Amino acid sequence: MIWYALLVAAVAAERVAELFVARRNERWSMSRGAVVAGQGHYPAMVALHTALLAGCLIEAGLADRPFVPALGWPMLAVVVAAQGLRWWCINTLGPRWNTRVIVVPGMPLVTGGPYRWLGHPNYVAVVAEGLALPLVHTAWVTAVAFTVLNAALLAVRVRCENEALAGAIGPRTVPAGTPGSATGLDATS
């Protein structure tokens, strides 16, 4: 269980690093006339992601969930892959990435990196991690609860981002109707 607690702590440290990047990027965006949208759901998002980390440890410890290698190792691989995808998104968006919905008016959509194929690839990472991290140590209640609540939250978040971008984007950088045209905005807490 100690190694699992270290894994969850490493994911928590990664989240703190994201917040530092987000703060820096927020300053960059605001200096360029950015518009902030969807602030109402942000506290719920922070609470849900914090609860995921706590739930992993609480359920694994209190319910004495075992490490089952046939489940745990593949789920650990998914967690690692999700981190890779998340940082690919952050690097692709550069200073435009944020944990909040912040859009600089007039900027074109990002269409490189994972945004070539998916409109919201960072949320693919969030969904994968939210399911896999608890299952590394068979915390299935946490995995199910997070997945259900996160689906409801993402429905609000994606709609908010799409509306903010629709009102603020500059010229498209890909022809209309191209599969995988990206929103250029994806965040995680």
CATH number at 124 reads 1.20.120.1630
What percentage of residues in the chain have a pLDDT greater than 70? 88
35 touches 102 (CB < 8 A): yes
pTM of this prediction?
A: 0.85
Q: Has residue 173 been placed in a domain? A: no
Q: How distant is the alpha carbon of residue 166 from its chain centre?
A: 21
Q: Has residue 138 been placed in a domain? A: yes
Q: Has residue 174 been placed in a domain? A: no
Q: Has residue 181 been placed in a domain? A: no
Q: Token digits for 159?
A: 């709609």
Q: Has residue 91 been placed in a domain? A: yes
Number of structural domains in the chain:
1
Residue 86: how many other CB atoms lie within 10 Å: 24
Range of the domain at 17: 2-166
The pLDDT tens digits of the residues spanning 23-64 come to 999 999 999 999 998 889 999 999 999 999 999 999 999 999
* Residues whose CB falls within 8 Å of the CB of residue 43, separated by 6 or more in sequence, listed in order: none
54 touches 133 (CB < 8 A): no
- Sequence letter at residue 86: R
